[in-house]
Amino acid sequence: MTKECPHCNKMTELTKENIFRPFCSEKCKLIDLGVWVNEDKKISRPIESEDFYED
């Protein structure tokens, strides 16, 4: 199965062989981590136990 990398939009494999999934590379994974660490992205509300269940 392939999907776009959340950072660069390059098509990437979502297989076990891609250790950086859902990212295409270590670079994209680390850039995304940096965005979260800098708090440019945030979870907008407290997580509720219901958030872990599928509908």
Q: Over range 34-45, report the average pLDDT.
A: 85
The pTM assigned to this predicted structure is 0.67
Within 8 A by CB and 6+ apart from 53, the residues are none
- For the four alpha carbons of 45, 47, 49 and 51, in that order, the dihedral sign comes to positive
48 lies in some domain: no
51 lies in some domain: no
pLDDT at 55 over 80: no
Structural domain containing residue 25: 2-42
pLDDT the model gives residue 51? 79
pLDDT the model gives residue 49? 85
* CATH number (domain holding residue 11): 3.30.50.10
How many domains is the chain partitioned into structurally? 1
Within 8 A by CB and 6+ apart from 11, the residues are 2, 3, 4, 5, 24
